[in-house]
């Protein structure tokens, strides 16, 4: 019997597992790394893709009122004048080491954070945006910025989307992409990095309906995390205080997760009013009004923005899934990843590396990988192979043993319970598909049986 161990998730263990198993590496590691930049390894890239796919599925493919966009990272420099990013980040700034709010030095009365009283960093002339040059000449006329958020790409394409999709309000634009911020304080692994990925929606509504839609999106987004298996107790909503609100925001909630270092923002949902479209209309000279053909009115829509981080979601998913159990006197490390997010869905494990068993196992492998991402592993003892798969969160292992050659059956072993069933090889695909859809392990196909062979049998 396995037994729960006391509280065990800490950042060091997560970093070490990610490193050891190929989820996440420090960027440019052979050169000593690059501060707060990270590379996603073979498993990390799958995890991240699954998170993005789950988000896209929920907010674009399963809805009639949201369409996708992939805007370029480099945008016209005026975008950042209109958005307020250029002006807002060029003063000498200090940052609070605990709440991360940034302050202009000239606004400070003493050397403490005006919001929480925390310790402040040294002042720096700071522009949050990474600057580069477009074309062969490095002069001020050719300056462009790496976008610090994906949002502006959606605002500047508002009219293009309305005209080409004939979407009527309320509707949204969704985008996933890289964003870059020259953060003053970084750290906590992938929680705060200088290059990261965002998943953002700009949902355009008529003013007056904005509060209702704001509440809707707060609930919708919180449920998305819960549906992906994140424990409810580790999630909470925090409304921004008036003084905390960004210059554009009428209201804002953070969805916070209980990370190993404490509660911190996972996603922000803001009511941005009409700030962005009004600003872009002013700076571009183009009207960004919407014509409501029902009421025959022209108006600038309000915007509700759910803005999530892919990397922070990945970190929350990993922390939430991490577990240690005592099993036969040894610690079994496992990730209880939701099957939708698990990088590898099924592992095929032949008991021997030689002989006719290999042929059967390879055939099963070829068959299953038509449906899922499957790993074939024949190195070391079966017990160690199970542990490896547990540690990377693989929901099911399919084991082929010598008896398989006679009865044409294989064993399915479930990650969390370590329970096993034995089923005809011909039913493997349908049985696994049913288990992925939530069918209990012990619901058996014809000819199937509960397997008592044990972990190493
Ligand atoms: P924080 O207060 O933690 O700096 P923020 O309020 O500046 O975050 P937003 O501008 O609201 O963040 O960005 C939306 C989302 O993008 C955040 O909720 C987070 O998930 C992600 N994000 C923002 N900055 C970073 C970063 N430096 N590294 C990783 N993810 C980030």
**β 297-299/302-309 pair status:** unpaired
Share of the chain above pLDDT 90, in %: 80
**Which residue CA neighbors atom 27 of ligand 1 most closely?**
192
- The predicted model gives 72-82 an average pLDDT of 96
Residues 377 and 348: beta-carbon distance below 8 Å: yes
**pLDDT given at position 15:** 96
Closest CA to 428 of 404, 409, 415: 409
3-state secondary structure of 140: helix
Angle between helices 42-56 and 310-321 in degrees, nearest 10 = 110
**pLDDT given at position 4:** 47
| Ligand 1 pocket residue status of 192, Cβ below 6 Å | yes
**pLDDT given at position 456:** 47
Angle between helices 382-391 and 11-21 in degrees, nearest 10 = 120
Closest CA to 246 of 78, 77, 75, 83: 83
Average pLDDT in the chain: 93
Q: Which atom of ligand 1 is nearest to the CA of 200?
A: 14
DSSP state of 352: -
CA angle 220, 224, 226 (to 5 degrees): 115
Is 90 exceeded by the pLDDT of residue 269? yes
Helices (H), 228-272: none
| Ligand 1 pocket residue status of 307, Cβ below 6 Å | yes
> What is the residue whose two structure tokens read 């000279």?
285
Most confident of 85-99, 109-123, 385-399, 439-453: 385-399
**How far, in Å, is the centroid of ligand 1 from the Cα of 361?**
45
Q: Which two tokens stand for residue 72?
A: 């370029």
Could you tell me the pLDDT band of residue 123, with boundaries at 50, 70 and 90? confident
**pLDDT given at position 114:** 87
- Dihedral sign for Cα atoms in the order 210, 216, 217, 219: positive
Burial of 126-139, coded b for 16+ CB within 10 Å and e otherwise, reads: bbbbeeeeeeeeee
pLDDT in tens, 294-330: 999 999 999 999 999 999 999 999 999 999 999 888 8
Residues 202 and 248: beta-carbon distance below 8 Å: no
**β 24-26/38-40 pair status:** antiparallel
Which backbone phi and psi does 314 adopt, to 5 degrees?
A: -60, -40
pTM reported for the whole predicted model: 0.92
**pLDDT given at position 457:** 41
> Distance between CA 389 and CA 385 in Å, rounded?
6
Is 60 exceeded by the pLDDT of residue 154? yes
3-state secondary structure of 223: helix
- The predicted model gives 365-376 an average pLDDT of 97
**pLDDT given at position 91:** 61
Is 70 exceeded by the pLDDT of residue 453? no
Pocket test for ligand 1, best of 312, 313, 315, 316 (most atoms within 8 A of CB): 312
**pLDDT given at position 285:** 97
> Distance between CA 295 and CA 116 in Å, rounded?
47
| Ligand 1 pocket residue status of 251, Cβ below 6 Å | no
Could you tell me the pLDDT band of residue 22, with boundaries at 50, 70 and 90? very high
3-state secondary structure of 420: strand
- The predicted model gives 280-286 an average pLDDT of 97
Neighbours of 410 (CB within 10 A): 25
Is 70 exceeded by the pLDDT of residue 358? yes
**Which residue CA neighbors atom 29 of ligand 1 most closely?**
192
Closest CA to 415 of 350, 316, 349: 349
| Ligand 1 pocket residue status of 129, Cβ below 6 Å | no
**Which residue CA neighbors atom 28 of ligand 1 most closely?**
192
> What is the residue whose two structure tokens read 């096993």?
420
Could you tell me the pLDDT band of residue 89, with boundaries at 50, 70 and 90? low
Is 70 exceeded by the pLDDT of residue 3? no
- The predicted model gives 358-366 an average pLDDT of 97
Residues 450 and 421: beta-carbon distance below 8 Å: yes
Closest CA to 234 of 310, 307, 316: 316
Pairwise pLDDT comparison (244 vs 155), residue with the higher score: 155
On the question of a cis peptide bond just before residue 170, with omega within 30 degrees of 0, the verdict is: yes
Which of 167-181, 221-235, 242-256 comes out lowest in average pLDDT?
A: 242-256
Is 50 exceeded by the pLDDT of residue 228? yes
| Ligand 1 pocket residue status of 267, Cβ below 6 Å | yes
**How far, in Å, is the centroid of ligand 1 from the Cα of 74?**
19
- The predicted model gives 438-448 an average pLDDT of 95
Could you tell me the pLDDT band of residue 454, with boundaries at 50, 70 and 90? low
Is 80 exceeded by the pLDDT of residue 5? no
3-state secondary structure of 64: coil
Region for 329 from its dihedrals, namely left if φ exceeds 0, alpha if ψ lies in -120 to 50, beta otherwise: left
DSSP string, 224-235: HHHHTT--GGGE
| Ligand 1 pocket residue status of 198, Cβ below 6 Å | yes
- The predicted model gives 205-211 an average pLDDT of 97
Residues 203 and 305: beta-carbon distance below 8 Å: yes
**pLDDT given at position 109:** 82
DSSP state of 414: E
Integer-rounded Cα Rg, in Å, for the chain is 26
| Ligand 1 pocket residue status of 435, Cβ below 6 Å | no
Is 70 exceeded by the pLDDT of residue 9? yes
Helices (H), 322-443: 356-368, 382-391, 402-407, 428-436
């Amino acid at each position: 019997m396995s037994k729960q161990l006391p509280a065990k998730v800490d950042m060091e263990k997560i970093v070490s597992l990610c490193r050891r198993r190929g989820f996440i590496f420090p960027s440019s590691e052979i050169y000593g790394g690059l501060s707060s930049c990270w590379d996603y390894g073979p498993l990390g890239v799958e995890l991240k893709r699954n998170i993005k796919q789950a988000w896209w599925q929920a907010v674009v493919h399963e809805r009639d009122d949201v369409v996708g966009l992939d805007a370029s990272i480099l945008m016209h420099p005026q975008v950042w004048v209109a958005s307020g990013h250029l002006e807002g980040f060029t003063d000498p700034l200090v940052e609070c080491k605990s709440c991360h709010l940034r302050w202009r030095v000239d606004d400070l009365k003493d050397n403490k954070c005006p919001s929480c009283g925390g310790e402040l960093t040294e002042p720096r002339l700071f522009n949050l945006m990474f600057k580069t040059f477009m074309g062969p000449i490095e002069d001020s006329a050719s300056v462009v910025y790496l976008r610090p958020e994906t949002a502006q790409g959606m605002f500047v394409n508002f009219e293009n989307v309305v005209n080409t999709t004939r979407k009527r309000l309320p509707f949204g634009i969704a985008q996933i992409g890289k964003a870059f911020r020259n953060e003053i304080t970084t750290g906590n692994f992938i929680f705060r990095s200088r290059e990261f990925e965002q998943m953002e929606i700009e949902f355009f509504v008529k003013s007056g309906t904005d509060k209702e839609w704001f509440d809707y999106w707060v609930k919708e987004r919180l449920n998305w995390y819960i549906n992906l298996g994140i424990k409810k107790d580790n999630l909470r909503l925090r409304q921004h205080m008036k003084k905390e609100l960004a210059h554009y925001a009428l209201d804002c909630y953070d969805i916070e997760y209980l990370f190993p270092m404490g509660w911190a923002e996972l996603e922000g949902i803001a009511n941005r009013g009409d700030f962005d479209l009004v600003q872009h209309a002013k700076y571009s000279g183009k009207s960004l009004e919407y014509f409501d053909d029902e009421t025959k009115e022209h108006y600038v829509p309000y915007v509700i923005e759910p803005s999530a981080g892919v990397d922070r979601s990945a970190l929350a998913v990993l922390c939430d899934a991490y577990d240690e159990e005592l099993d036969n006197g040894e610690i079994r490390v496992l990730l209880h990843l939701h099957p939708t997010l698990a990088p590898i869905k099924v592992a095929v494990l032949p008991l021997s590396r030689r002989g006719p068993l290999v042929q059967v196992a390879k055939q099963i492998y070829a068959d299953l990988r038509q449906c899922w991402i499957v790993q074939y592993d024949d190195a070391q003892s079966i017990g160690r192979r199970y542990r490896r798969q547990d540690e990377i969160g693989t929901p099911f292992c399919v084991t082929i043993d010598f008896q398989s050659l006679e009865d044409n059956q294989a064993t399915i072993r479930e990650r969390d319970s370590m329970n096993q069933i034995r089923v005809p090889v011909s039913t493997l695909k349908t049985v696994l598909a049913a288990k992925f859809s939530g069918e209990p392990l012990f619901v058996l196909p014809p000819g199937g049986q509960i397997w008592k062979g044990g972990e190493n049998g």
